[in-house]
Copies of this chain bind each other. A is one copy, B any other.
Amino acid sequence: MRVTVIGLGLIGGSIAIDLRKSGVATRLTGVDQNDDHASEALRLGIVDEIKCLDEAIINTDLIILAIPVSAMVGAIGDLLSRVTPEVTLIDMGSTKAAICKSIRLQRNRGQFVAAHPIAGTENSGPGAAFSGLFNKKTLIVCEKELSSYSALRVADKVFAAMGVKTIFMEPVAHDRHVAYVSHLSHVSSFLLGQTVMDIEKDEKNIFDLAGSGFASTVRLAKSSPDMWAPIFEQNVEYLSQALLEYIMHLQRFHYHLMKGDSKEIHRIMTEANEIRRVLAGIELKDEKTNNVESLIEE
């Protein structure tokens, strides 16, 4: 299959690597508006060639879009109106409501599959891409019923190459759930990083004391603002709600702390400990085999 990857960062680059490794891609064409990223991806052998967008979308079978979600909204509609009917488009955006809404009435909506792989690291750019990033992770597909049989067939091959387990959600439900679990974590980490650098003037102390758990809590604060700012903005409604809840919980904790209410402090922490049980299932999930043909009901 001839594959075009638009956006050669961590996500697009890692998919390209998986598609080549699995044999799904027979030729990989890359597009990136950042010339440095484009030439780095070529140099690293992630793609076979770099083309401009107009050339990259002809004579191809599959287009993977892995660009910031702010650019995604206009791009997918534009691409759908220009590609031939055999081409499949799959996006990897972290928000889904605005993207799905933007092309819902498009004549050839069926050629598009809306996807969000729940995977990533705090690193960005083609140099951060690696094989296995998506292995055994969850990938959410939205509005599967609006994708054509042939597009879903192509998507199945891509998702199998990535090694993901697919689940389905409505776009609005998707955005709400990822705001609560993923986007809030990123905000909490970004602001923790900023706060600590603000109050702890001596960087040497941050460095010396980071082994205390700070390093892992603040890991996501290293994430790319170019990728994450548009996600937060597109998901402002649910993220705002989650953020206000978080602030409220922090304020309540602070109140009990100041009151010296040991019992309540202990109770809140014990309640939070429940997250161990909730997350324990992750290991179980990792044992499962992937449902390779999950997109198509036979």
The residues of A with any CB-CB pair to B shorter than 8 Å are: 118-120, 122, 137-138, 167, 177-178, 180-182, 184-200, 202-203, 205-223, 225-226, 228-229, 232-233, 236, 239-247, 249-251, 253-254, 257-258, 260, 262, 265-266, 268-276, 278-279, 281-282, 285
Contacts and interface: CB of A to CB of B under 8 A. Distances in A.
Contacts of A206: 181, 275, 278-279
Contacts of A226: 266
Given A190-B268, A192-B246, A210-B282, 15 more contacts: A122-B276, A181-B196, A182-B212, A190-B272, A194-B249, A195-B249, A207-B282, A215-B279, A222-B276, A223-B273, A225-B269, A228-B269, A229-B262, A233-B257, A246-B250
Number of copies of chain A assembled together: 2
Contact of A181 (B210, B240, B274): B210
Contacts of A137: 211
A278 B197 CA distance: 9
A258 B235 CA distance: 11
Contacts of A211: 118-119, 137-138, 282
20 contacts: A118-B211, A137-B211, A181-B196, A181-B212, A185-B192, A188-B192, A188-B250, A189-B213, A191-B246, A191-B272, A197-B275, A198-B249, A215-B279, A215-B282, A218-B275, A226-B266, A233-B262, A243-B254, A246-B250, A247-B251
